[in-house]
Protein backbone atom coordinates (compact mmCIF):
# COMPACT_ATOMS: atom_id res chain seq x y z
CA UNK A 1 0.00 0.00 0.00
CA UNK A 2 2.96 2.33 0.49
CA UNK A 3 6.36 2.96 -1.00
CA UNK A 4 9.62 3.45 0.81
CA UNK A 5 10.59 7.11 0.57
CA UNK A 6 14.26 6.76 -0.34
CA UNK A 7 16.70 8.06 -2.92
CA UNK A 8 16.23 4.69 -4.62
CA UNK A 9 12.48 5.17 -5.16
CA UNK A 10 12.42 8.95 -5.70
CA UNK A 11 13.46 8.95 -9.40
CA UNK A 12 10.74 6.39 -10.20
CA UNK A 13 8.09 8.42 -8.39
CA UNK A 14 9.14 11.52 -10.35
CA UNK A 15 9.07 9.50 -13.62
CA UNK A 16 12.76 10.33 -14.13
CA UNK A 17 13.66 6.68 -14.74
CA UNK A 18 11.63 3.61 -15.85
CA UNK A 19 10.23 1.38 -13.09
CA UNK A 20 12.50 -1.51 -14.09
CA UNK A 21 15.74 0.51 -13.87
CA UNK A 22 18.17 -0.80 -11.25
CA UNK A 23 19.54 1.83 -8.85
CA UNK A 24 22.57 1.42 -6.64
CA UNK A 25 21.51 -0.50 -3.53
CA UNK A 26 22.88 2.05 -1.06
CA UNK A 27 20.36 4.63 -2.41
CA UNK A 28 17.59 2.43 -1.00
CA UNK A 29 18.91 3.14 2.51
CA UNK A 30 18.89 6.94 2.25
CA UNK A 31 15.50 8.07 3.56
CA UNK A 32 13.89 11.13 1.98
CA UNK A 33 10.87 11.31 4.30
CA UNK A 34 10.55 10.34 7.93
CA UNK A 35 8.86 11.52 11.09
CA UNK A 36 11.02 13.99 12.97
CA UNK A 37 12.77 15.51 9.96
CA UNK A 38 12.88 19.29 9.73
CA UNK A 39 11.26 19.60 6.31
CA UNK A 40 7.53 19.11 5.84
CA UNK A 41 6.72 15.58 4.75
CA UNK A 42 3.97 14.54 2.34
CA UNK A 43 2.26 11.52 3.92
CA UNK A 44 0.53 8.90 1.80
CA UNK A 45 -3.23 8.61 2.21
CA UNK A 46 -5.56 6.02 0.73
CA UNK A 47 -8.95 4.56 1.48
CA UNK A 48 -9.26 0.81 1.80
CA UNK A 49 -12.36 -1.25 2.40
CA UNK A 50 -11.74 -3.33 5.53
CA UNK A 51 -13.65 -6.58 5.82
CA UNK A 52 -14.00 -9.11 8.59
CA UNK A 53 -11.31 -11.74 8.18
CA UNK A 54 -8.82 -9.36 6.55
CA UNK A 55 -5.29 -9.26 7.87
CA UNK A 56 -2.71 -6.56 7.35
CA UNK A 57 1.05 -6.83 7.63
CA UNK A 58 2.80 -3.62 8.66
CA UNK A 59 6.52 -4.17 8.27
CA UNK A 60 9.87 -2.68 7.50
CA UNK A 61 11.67 -3.26 4.23
CA UNK A 62 13.71 -5.85 6.08
CA UNK A 63 10.69 -8.10 5.54
CA UNK A 64 9.00 -6.64 2.45
CA UNK A 65 12.24 -6.50 0.48
CA UNK A 66 13.28 -10.05 1.32
CA UNK A 67 10.19 -12.21 0.88
CA UNK A 68 7.77 -12.54 -2.03
CA UNK A 69 4.11 -11.60 -1.93
CA UNK A 70 3.22 -15.30 -2.00
CA UNK A 71 5.49 -16.00 0.99
CA UNK A 72 3.94 -13.06 2.88
CA UNK A 73 0.40 -14.26 2.09
CA UNK A 74 0.93 -17.79 3.34
CA UNK A 75 3.00 -17.37 6.50
CA UNK A 76 2.70 -16.21 10.07
CA UNK A 77 4.81 -13.28 11.21
CA UNK A 78 7.10 -15.67 13.11
CA UNK A 79 7.60 -17.70 9.93
CA UNK A 80 8.34 -14.53 7.92
CA UNK A 81 10.94 -13.39 10.43
CA UNK A 82 12.55 -16.85 10.43
CA UNK A 83 12.61 -16.87 6.62
CA UNK A 84 14.29 -13.45 6.51
CA UNK A 85 16.85 -14.54 9.11
CA UNK A 86 17.61 -17.65 7.03
CA UNK A 87 18.17 -15.38 4.01
CA UNK A 88 20.77 -13.40 5.96
CA UNK A 89 18.62 -10.48 7.22
CA UNK A 90 20.52 -7.65 5.52
CA UNK A 91 18.25 -5.05 7.18
CA UNK A 92 16.16 -4.72 10.33
CA UNK A 93 13.25 -7.17 10.57
CA UNK A 94 10.21 -5.61 12.18
CA UNK A 95 6.53 -6.36 11.66
CA UNK A 96 3.03 -6.36 13.13
CA UNK A 97 0.02 -8.29 11.83
CA UNK A 98 -3.47 -6.89 12.42
CA UNK A 99 -6.45 -9.23 12.11
CA UNK A 100 -9.90 -7.73 11.47
CA UNK A 101 -12.64 -9.51 13.37
Q: 54-72 pLDDT, tens per residue?
A: 999 888 878 888 888 888 8
pLDDT tier for residue 1 given thresholds of 50, 70 and 90: low
What CA–CA distance (Å, rounded) separates 94 from 8?
21
Percent of the chain scored above 90 by pLDDT?
Answer: 24
Rg (CA), the chain: 15
Sign for the pseudo-dihedral over CA of 24, 81, 94, 96:
positive
Nearest Cα neighbor of 96 from 77, 72, 68 is 77
The model's pTM is: 0.66
How far apart CA 76 and CA 99 sit, in angstroms, is 12
The mean per-residue pLDDT over the stretch 33-61 comes to 85
Whether the CB-CB separation of 59 and 69 falls below 8 Å is answered with: no
Amino acid sequence: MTTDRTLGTFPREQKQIPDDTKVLDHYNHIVTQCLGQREIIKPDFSEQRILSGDRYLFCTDGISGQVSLNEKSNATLDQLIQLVLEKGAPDNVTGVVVFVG
